[in-house]
Structure 1
Amino acid sequence: MNGKVILVGAGPGDVGLLTLKGKAVLQQADVVVYDKLVGQGVLALIPPTARRIDVGKRASHHPIPQHQINQILLEEALAGNLVVRLKGGDPFLFGRGGEELELLVQHGIDFEIVPGVTSALSVPAYAGIPVTHRDCTSSLHIITGHTKTAPEAQIDFASLVKLKGTLVFLMGVSAMESICTGLLAGGMSPDMPAAVLERGTTAHQRRVVSTVQNLVHDAQAANIKTPAIIVVGKVCALAEQFHWAEERPLGGVRIVVTRPRELASTLTEKLRALGAEVVELPSIQTAAIENNAALAFALTNLGRYGWITFTSPSGVRIFFEELRARGQDIRSLAGLKIAAIGSATAHELEKRGLLVDLKPSAYNAGQLGAALGVAAKGTRILITRARVGSPDLTAALDAAGIPYDDVPLYDTLYTYEQADSVREQLACGEIDYVAFTSASTVRGFVGAIGDFDFSQVNAICIGEQTALEAQKHRIKTVIAQAATIDSMVALLTDLHRQK
């Protein structure tokens, strides 16, 4: 049975501009075929179960010819897969979506179109340029800078000038000189405002606002590269007045978040809300231990403990999944006091209706053990955590003479998704910070990136133990004042403000 192909517009780069339908479709995909212009945040939404095919396509650079891309889509659909063709911007606005459908239609393959936010509108908006304004212009005209058969589009510039509207040229950077020359020859005033906007909606977006006469010179002086769009019209003069993207607290910052996929959303959402571009590189994942006899014994004999201790949000999640699987609920914990290593773990417990009785002032295993050594005198403690946990916790309990059962819940596994892309961005200096929330995320990140000069990396660490692990690899570290996600975000904001 044949599969289906869905053309999805990924938008201009900012993951927040991916449509809800586009996200829903992407997460159901068996195969994702994507271009280089698709933002890293969007690529992070591809499920781990989906097979990725990078066709490497971007403006003026097509390492895989279009006819081969068409064939890939057909072959994957004939194999019965749900194929998502992920394209920058909108599939039908100079995106060759129609060309890709033709072969599918010939072979009777089902297809669907999910429109995307086009860079023709969104990139000027992020640069403070409204493409229409009643005091300046009431029409908008979108033109391609090149065509299938020629590196420069054949444009009737005189007719464009007569329209007196805003002109947006996509894929036109290489043809900028001929575009500006053509507009001047067609009768446009040399003083007409014009702008070139590079990498719009991303952390490293840049703009050059000039005039039609001077745009080429000013763009060359700024070393503007693709991907970029050209905007011509009176509305460009509003850019300084309306610019906003860079003014956000973390506007212009690109951050790698290394938390496990199931935990990354909290930090990611806080960073994106402040204007940061987040690249998710889940460097670890947790896998519950199967046929866990030690946990089964503990859950059967909860009455022997006076305290239960949790050392991570993942541990909380896995513990209660196992509890539920055994037909038990929070009533089984009646009479037990609860300790959590930090705020994130405590919050995970609160979501299940449980308030913690103990949380150390410094969120690390040694401090948790020391606090329990005082609070838990005369009782046995149930420790629930990763199979390989910090020895500082049990060492502190041993020193205090506190009996305990150290029960492993899960293994920490290291993952390497998107590592090549992140390594490339690090090498090019395009990553401003890497956020580490545990020593294991540091180890996973280093393993994923591989052979690299980590002295180039700037990291925000949630605590001292995490920072010590990062420093082993010569990573430059700054430690959050409190070992919380909010404190990490506040530190990043302060660092960016000081630049």
Structure 2
Amino acid sequence: MVPAEQPAATGNVYLVGAGPGDPGLITLRGAEVLARADVVLYDYLANPQLLQHCRAGAELLCLGQHGRGRLLTQQEVNERTIAAASAGKSVVRLKCGDPTVFARAAEEIGALVAAKVPFEIVPGITAAFAAASYAGLPLTQKEQASAVAIVTGQENPEKTGERLNYGALASFPGTLCFYMGVTSAREWSRGLLTAGKSPSTPVALVRRCSFPDQQVWQTTLGEVAAFVEQTKLRPPVIIVVGEVAAASRDWSWFDQRPLFGQRIVVTRPAHQAEDLLAPLAELGAEVLLQPAIEIGPPADWSPVDAAISKLNEFHWLVFSSSNGVHYFLQRLWSLGKDLRTLAQAKIAAIGPGTAAELEKHSLRADLLPDEFRAEALADALKGSARDQKFLLLRASRGREVLAEELTAAGGSVEQVVVYESRDVAQPASEIAPLLSAGKLDWVTVTSSAIARSLHAMFGDQLHKTKLASISPITSATLRELGLQPAVEATTYTMPGLVAAVRSSAASLLR
């Protein structure tokens, strides 16, 4: 007899606080449960970059966005969450801010308890606290505010219990933080004023706190409703009411960073983009990823394998990129060999990025040129190139200058392709419209291959932005394509490119 199938054990549900917007503000626990979730149901205000923590194959469901299709009802959210958990799946319900602050957690918890579904609440940074920190508005001060109240600007119209007591709020000895208070600004401000709160009470409005386009305004309680209406302010906004809202704008560290307000596109392959994404974001830029090329293994490993079989014949192994290091050493290991195979040869690296990749594998470059390009590497090697055998570990495309100069200097050169570089044909959906509208401040260009791919992808639209080139070689390629770089790095590295953009942005502000 075939045993009956056992029902799947009920999965766990995690109510996770996504924080206010900056993806770096999620907790370690939140990132951990996202990484192992089978299903993620997320609010549209949760930064989509947080979904990068999710594993490949996880089911990701946005619960809808105001003005863009239908929002799922709370009942539908509860049903989908419980259905997924009942099927034995690990479910993350990703909520903006903190799950227990104006996020309808009580309704979801009640449904989970009724369905006997195990759950965990993972706290997040709530928007009021984040807005205060990112706008430089300390919510408490020993002389001005000894308490903080978190207040909704949108009460449930079907509420049967006691509504907001504006008399108590008006006499509250501290700071009031209103959530969802934009469309109801006239109502709650009138309530406070009628209850006796002074019209000169400072008010600060923080829109999209912790996002690269955060905005902060200061007004007064008597003027806030008119201000909201005149500026046609739209959510998400946190409104801070109280003496602390008059803090000097010099305290607002977030929007004083050198690249704040700049929208920058990074065009490196996705797996290599972080060394530009992170430092640019740290300087305040809104950074978008649009890979122009993809990197992968060669279609045919046999030339590489043949070279590996005779490594003891070469005097020099020459790496012209970190990708070459990665794919070559990966192949070496897959063939059952290790670093001992390289003992007879010296190693040359074109620049510090390539040398750093070697160091990850406990290898030191014997030679690193002063200037990080092929001509400088050739100059450093060709003085003693005669009768030396060089193995150049390279990409599927690139210039021949290194091989030509070493051969001319009397060296014996063998080249093998250890990785392929392929153009990305289609841009990400959000990039082309922004470029066409002139809403991209910078596009980084870190190689000639990327320059050509970008030109094939966007053509003359690239004249609508500023191009940041990593080197004279890349700049020359851009000019051949009819494009003029706005800046060129003086040090041909990722930090050098970041420095060039930062310097140019600073000069525009002077």
Shorter-chain TM-score range: 0.7 to 0.9
Deviations 1:72-116 (A, max 9, x none): 434444555433332221122112334344444444444332211
Number of residue pairs the alignment of both structures matches: 496
Moved more, 269-278 or 108-117: 269-278
Cα distance in 2 between the residues matched to 1:57 and 1:64:
6
Per the alignment, residue 497 of structure 1 pairs with 506
Contact 1:254 1:433 in 2 (8 A): yes
Cα distance in 2 between the residues matched to 1:344 and 1:485:
8
Cα distance in 2 between the residues matched to 1:311 and 1:354:
15
Cα distance, 1:209 vs structure 2 = 0.7
Matched ranges for 1:129-148 at <5 A: 129-148=137-156
Moved more, 316-325 or 34-43: 34-43
Contact 1:457 1:476 in 2 (8 A): no
Contact 1:208 1:218 in 2 (8 A): no
Q: Are 1:83 and 2:102 matched, yes or no?
A: no
Deviations 1:245-274 (A, max 9, x none): 222333444433333343333333333443
Matched ranges for 1:12-51 at <5 A: 12-39=20-47, 41-51=49-59
Per the alignment, residue 216 of structure 1 pairs with 225
Matched ranges for 1:39-118 at <5 A: 39=47, 41-57=49-65, 63-66=70-73, 67-78=75-86, 80-118=88-126
C-alpha spacing 1:123/1:200, structure 2 compared with 1 (3 Å): same
SS of match in other structure, 1:357: coil
SS of match in other structure, 2:139: coil
Deviations 1:279-334 (A, max 9, x none): 44555443334772222222221122121111221221222222233343333222
- When the two structures are superposed, what TM-score results if normalisation uses the length of structure 2? 0.85
Cα distance in 2 between the residues matched to 1:439 and 1:30:
41
Deviations 1:423-460 (A, max 9, x none): 5655676643333333445566678x879933333332
SS of match in other structure, 2:36: coil
Contact 2:202 2:243 in 1 (8 A): yes
SS of match in other structure, 1:137: coil
Per the alignment, residue 410 of structure 1 pairs with 419
Structure 2, unpaired ranges of 5+:
1-7
- 1:380 maps to a residue whose letter is K
Moved more, 235-244 or 288-297: 288-297
Cα distance in 2 between the residues matched to 1:469 and 1:403:
29
- 1:26 maps to a residue whose letter is L
Matched ranges for 1:358-373 at <5 A: 358-365=367-374, 367-369=376-378, 372-373=381-382
- 1:225 maps to a residue whose letter is R
Matched ranges for 1:22-421 at <5 A: 22-39=30-47, 41-57=49-65, 63-66=70-73, 67-78=75-86, 80-149=88-157, 155-282=164-291, 284-289=293-298, 292-365=301-374, 367-369=376-378, 372-397=381-406, 402-412=411-421, 419-421=428-430
SS of match in other structure, 1:489: helix
Q: Are 1:463 and 2:464 matched, yes or no?
A: no
Contact 2:385 2:409 in 1 (8 A): no
SS of match in other structure, 1:65: coil
Moved more, 366-375 or 196-205: 366-375
Cα distance in 1 between the residues matched to 2:460 and 2:183:
34
C-alpha spacing 1:473/1:160, structure 2 compared with 1 (3 Å): farther
Cα distance, 1:70 vs structure 2 = 3.5
Cα distance in 2 between the residues matched to 1:458 and 1:392:
29
SS of match in other structure, 2:142: coil
Q: Percent identity?
A: 35
Task: Output the aligned Cα RMSD.
Answer: 3.4
C-alpha spacing 1:164/1:443, structure 2 compared with 1 (3 Å): farther
- When the two structures are superposed, what TM-score results if normalisation uses the length of structure 1? 0.86
SS of match in other structure, 1:187: coil
Contact 1:463 1:483 in 2 (8 A): yes
Cα distance, 1:173 vs structure 2 = 1.2
Cα distance in 1 between the residues matched to 2:52 and 2:390:
39
SS of match in other structure, 2:144: coil
